[in-house]
Structure 1
Amino acid sequence: MHVLLFLSGVLGNATGLFLFLAPMVTFKRIIRNRSTEQFSGIPYVMTLLNCIVFTWYGLPFVSRNNILIWTINATGGVIEFTYIVIFIIFGPKKERMKVMGLFALIMTVFSAIASISLLALHGNTRKFFCGVAAALFSTVMFASPLSVMVPNVFGTGLGIAQLILYAIYYKNRNHSESAIKDDFIEMDLENIDQVKKPDSRHL
């Protein structure tokens, strides 16, 4: 039973390593072209946070017998850090500043998690806290590629709102213009009637 669990863990680590190495094609292109082009560095920073938190969770003083967890995530952390360095070297200034700012933020978050787990928590409580943090940031990591499409989603929503307002305004405008036109027609008809009627004083 233990052998099967170990082999399953090794297979999982091999799959994880493949996923960490998958962006190598992208970074070969970045190095070749000396530009990050339209690629975003946010997913790599968030993956680094996921790796270091899971590495922390797998260490013996947090949770025992998790050598496979901390080894693969430590390896992934080194790979992701390498990607981030390449991104900073070849990225435009605005993107570099964003990536470096996010990197500083995730290191602050990790430092807070490590400090709380070491100084304030013990035993199973420490393990539970670090496990929840690891699961949370794993979810954030998988959601991070959406950062590219989120502004477009908001933009689409705002565009739809503008079209709705325009349709409402255009309808009201047509209604107002029609009402004004009817008023002018009625006024003209009244003037015509007054011209046609003889003045009784001259009869």
Structure 2
Amino acid sequence: MAGLSMQHPWAFAFGLLGNVISFATFLAPIPTFYRIYKSKSTEGFQSVPYVVALFSCMLWIFYALVKSNETFLITINAAGLVIESVYIIMYFVYAPKKGKLFTAKIMLLLNVLGFGLILLVTLLAFKGDKRVVMLGWICVGFSVSVFVAPLSIIKRVIQTKSVEYMPFSLSLSLTLSAVVWFLYGLLIKDKYVALPNILGFTFGVVQMALYMFYMNKTPVVTGGKDSGKLPSADQEHVLVNIAKLSPALPEKSSEVHPVTDRAVPRSCAAEAAAVAAMGPTNRDVVDVFVSRHSPAVHVV
């Protein structure tokens, strides 16, 4: 109960502050899920960070109960358990079938089978301080996973040059939370609380740096394997301006000047001129796309 004891005022202060900041961190994805609710689609968002966060909350509650009722750890992780459960339920409601199946599989493996196995092994195979040590290192491992999980979106940020799916508020709150919980862990002399938050602080800074770097970049469309590529030589299109024949204009305006930059096959040029002559009478110039690898002519 060192965290709540007024004999350790700084530990109490950082524990309370850690609860406040971590609660705000849990609430940071609310705009994301409001967007999902409004669009009725999960779009490019992933469920993995929320499933991993839920599992971490379950583990820390178990650890806090085994280690003499660490109240600050119980309160914040109980709140996190409820909030993450709501997020996951919303994801199930609006995710496509493939996303639902994937989320159900990882929850079955991690939150049901994984947590059940940890529960059985620690309760049956370990006693006293050894049980606390074993649970402590398991919590460290999965706390690191919580900090790493949002980094799965970093590849997407780099590829698309867009920070749309990496909110700055979440990265900032994760960083502040890591700093406060690291200090709390030091003050109560609990290395299992302090250690993972060193990595949490590092990852948070990396995410904020990426956000600052890409926030003003022009997004790149990545709809397919050929998106964003320039056309190859055999797929190039030539824009040809063909003067339209019109009786309302002087005779010299109907002259067609040959294109010398990129030669167009005679048949294509003749077809383009014919299409231009048949076009509407209120345009003086007809823009024609001529495909190099096809005789088709597209009037725009």
Same fold (TM over 0.5): yes
* Relative contact order, higher structure (CA 8 A, sep 6+): 1
Query: Structure 1 counterpart of 2:79, which letter?
Result: T
Counterpart secondary structure, 1:111: helix
In structure 2, the partner of 1:45 is: 51
Counterpart check, 1:131 vs 2:133: no
Query: Structure 2 counterpart of 1:63, which letter?
Result: K
User: Equivalent residues in 2 for 1:155-166 (5 A)?
Assistant: none
Question: CA offsets, 1:120-168, max 9 Å, x none?
Answer: 1111100011111111001111111233456999xxxxxxxxxxxxxxx
Question: CA offsets, 1:93-129, max 9 Å, x none?
Answer: 1111111111111121111111111111111100011
1:79 deviates by 0.5
1:65 deviates by 3.9
Give the total of aligned pairs: 151
* Match 1:105 to one of 94, 106, 109: 109
In structure 2, the partner of 1:168 is: none
* Match 1:5 to one of 5, 11, 33: 11
Counterpart check, 1:116 vs 2:121: yes
Counterpart secondary structure, 2:104: helix
C-alpha distance in 1, partners of 2:97/2:13?
Answer: 45
Instruction: Please identify the structure whose Cα radius of gyration is greater.
Output: 1
In structure 2, the partner of 1:54 is: 60
In structure 1, runs of 5+ residues without a counterpart are 154-203
- The structure whose residues are more often helix, as a share, is 1
In structure 2, runs of 5+ residues without a counterpart are 1-6, 159-300
User: Does the C-alpha gap of structure 1 residues 150 and 101 become closer, same or farther in structure 2, counting only changes over 3 Å?
Assistant: farther
User: Does the C-alpha gap of structure 1 residues 41 and 2 become closer, same or farther in structure 2, counting only changes over 3 Å?
Assistant: same
In structure 2, the partner of 1:144 is: 149
* Match 2:83 to one of 79, 83, 86: 79
Relative to the length of structure 1, the TM-score reads 0.70
Relative to the length of structure 2, the TM-score reads 0.48
RMSD: 1.8
Query: Structure 1 counterpart of 2:87, which letter?
Result: Y
C-alpha distance in 2, partners of 1:13/1:144?
Answer: 21
